[in-house]
Amino acid sequence: MGSKRHTIQLSSEDRQITIEHGQTLLEALIAAGVFLRADCGGKRRCGKCMIKIAESSRASVSQADETEAKFLGARQLAARSRLACCTEVLNDTAIEIPETSRLSPEVAQKGPTILFDKLTALKASAAEMIDGYGLAVDLGTTTIAVYLCNLAAAEVTASISVRNPQVLFGDDVMSRIGAVGQNEDLLLRLQKMVVKAIEWGTNSLCRSTRIEPGKIQTMIVVGNTTMIHLFVGTDPTSIGMFPYNPQFVEEQIFEAPKVGFRFNPNTTVRTLPLITGFIGADIVSATLAAKLSHTRPGTMLVDVGTNGEIMFLGKEGLVATSCATGPAFEGAAITYGMHAVSGAIDAVKIDGSNGVTCSVIQKDPARPKKIAGLCGTGVVSAVAELLRSKMILPDGAFNRQTDSKQLLLGDNDTPEYVLAGPGETEGDRTITFTQKDVRAIQLAKGALRTGIDLLCLEAGIERPQKILLAGAFGSYIRKKDALTIGMFPEVSEEDIEVVGNAAGAGAILALFDDHILAQANELRQSTRVLDLASHPNFQEIFIASLEFPKTALS
Ligand code: FES
């Protein structure tokens, strides 16, 4: 890479940014803070970073390669569409960023803090509590939830969800670990990004409630192990390679200015302890909020994200495991996948062999958005409906015998099911559910189900007695759809309880109750960890878990 620099003209923004000769468009756009979708973090695996090169700039960029041909096809390449992570800039260039490639300004919401809201008894002891305010932060890979809490009243005064700006470096933790591994200067940058986002959310809450930020005395932060490492500025690279060990597991306590917070130099920040590289402070927090140790043995807490974390109360105490569900349940790694924001399909209904109806998230009904893709719950709903209507078979293959007009043959003669067509979609695209998407969901649900089944096997029980479903995905998914695709063993819908953002609820509780902090440390030490990959039955159960249940077809 030389020192020669070029300009990139962003047509829709009347804005110019500069780029080093030979740098990719994605690198330049991220550096300039342009919120472009880059679900795989620039690893050429998601196809979501599509931009359009101006006719006059065709020769100013590198030639399209095989990856672009695979994701875009000949027609889109001829129309000058390119993938930003694959396109190197060789001269001054003008580009256009389609709406579908931009990160929505709207933020996907975390689930409600149901478990905290149930705890009315806490308020009875609130009189002993100190005056002032506290912040509970659930630091998610995609969304950060910030709760401003009145310590004396033991209540949440206001809350806000903020996008985790690190999504520019990928939707999942492995992409961010990889980014830091390749460029160690990024560690400080990623830390600053997340601290600024929390501070922005805090200032915004303080403004709307007219509370002086200087009154914030304490902050509890929970999140997965990688997010906690990035938050405290510790290199997470070791989490990304065998034996996947974190740099620390203990709780971290420090003064807010140490990581760059400016609202009150005396605020004490605490992160809850971690268990392993993939069993983090979020599941510790959720376990305490759900009082899992006090439930009946056989109760399982499941938090599904890009990594599935499961905590199970067996007869001999708590056992935890994590499974590599990947980003499919969050809508990433799916051809038309997206976050759960306006314009996302969140449920699908297939009637007979011809009709399909989609329910679409519309946060502002006065300004409805066209269909832009499917979020995680929409993806599960689509697979469940395709199974029920026999469009796909238990092995996941599309049923070529069907005469549905919705079933098309796409690239390489591979079937794909049309969910929405031009006229109703953003950019007049045909939004389909492809064979590759079905396979991605099979892998994701197979990984989750393997974790659940092996925990049961270890505990000597056939299936969980009760499943507590935590997290944003778990808050909005239809239980029936999850059961249809075999994400969970055959339990009744009543035995699945949605507990919302349990990690956030635990962080709020920890602000009010010092016992929670002590219990978190105890839980870290007493929880047994089940390593799935080294289990002798792993391979056999994983392969069996890839199939969809035959009962969906009866
Ligand atoms: S393919 Fe370009 S960011 Fe994923």
Q: For the segment 311-334, what is each residue's pLDDT rounded down to a tens digit?
A: 999 988 999 999 988 878 877 789
Percentages (nearest 5) of helix, strand, coil residues in the chain? 40, 25, 35
User: And the tokens for 431?
Assistant: 């939004």
Mutual orientation of helices 376-388 and 435-459 as an angle, nearest 10°? 90
Ligand 1 centroid vs 26 CA: distance in angstroms? 8
DSSP H/E element including 366: none
Contacts of 472 (CB under 8 A, 6+ apart): 108, 109, 110, 111, 140, 143, 305, 340, 501
* Res 123: pLDDT: 54
Residue bearing the bigger pLDDT, 362 or 514: 362
Task: Identify which of 140, 96, 103, 172 has the alpha carbon closest to the alpha carbon of residue 372.
Answer: 103
Q: Taking all residues of the chain, what is their mean pLDDT, rounded to a whole number?
A: 91
Rounded to whole angstroms, the Cα distance separating 471 from 307 reads 11
Q: How many angstroms separate the Cα of 376 from the Cα of each of 65, 225, 269? A: 30, 23, 33
Could you tell me if 310 and 452 are in contact, meaning their C-beta atoms sit under 8 angstroms apart? yes
* 442 to 35, 65, 449, 464, 548: CA distances (angstroms): 30, 29, 10, 21, 8
Model confidence at 552: pLDDT above 70: no
pLDDT of residue 245: 96
Are the C-beta atoms of 329 and 380 separated by less than 8 Å? yes
446 CA distance to ligand 1 middle (Å): 25
DSSP assignment of 271-316 equals E----BTTB-HHHHHHHHHTTGGGS-TTEEEEEESSSEEEEEEETT
Say what the pLDDT of residue 221 is. 98
- The CB of 193 under 6 Å from ligand 1? The reply is no
Ligand 1 atom closest to residue 47's alpha carbon, by position in its atom list:
1
pLDDT given at position 127: 47
Distance of alpha carbon 239 from alpha carbon 399, whole angstroms = 41
Region 339-368: mean pLDDT is 90
**Is the CB of 25 within 6 Å of ligand 1?**
no
- Tell me if 62 sits within 8 A of 82, measured CB to CB: no
440 alpha carbon – ligand 1 mean position (Å): 17
The pLDDT > 90 percentage for the chain reads 70
Residue 61, pLDDT score:
95
Q: Is 48 in the pocket of ligand 1 (CB under 6 A)?
A: yes
User: In Å, how far are 24, 49, 213 from 167, measured between CA atoms?
Assistant: 18, 12, 27
Q: Is the CB of 40 under 6 A from ligand 1?
A: yes
Please, which residues have CB within 8 angstroms of residue 438's CB and are 6 or more apart in sequence?
A: 383, 386, 392, 396, 398
Residue 349 has pLDDT above 70, yes or no: yes
Q: Mean per-residue pLDDT for 363-376?
A: 92
User: Closest by alpha carbon to 445, among 534, 384, 390, 499?
Assistant: 384
Q: Is 16 helix (H, G, I), strand (E, B) or coil?
A: strand
pTM for this predicted structure: 0.90
For residue 34 and ligand 1, the question of a CB distance below 6 A is answered with no
pLDDT tens by residue, 377-415: 999 999 999 999 999 999 999 999 888 889 998 777 889
**Which one, of 406, 408, 399, lies nearest residue 552 by Cα?**
399
Is pLDDT of 137 > 50? yes
**H/E element, 416:** strand 415-420
Predicted pLDDT at 530: 96
Query: Which of ligand 1's atoms lies nearest the C-alpha of 67?
Result: 1
The pLDDT of residue 354 is above 70: no
**Three-state SS for 113?**
coil
Report the residue among 30, 36, 40 best suited for mutation to probe ligand 1: largest number of ligand atoms under 8 A from its CB: 40
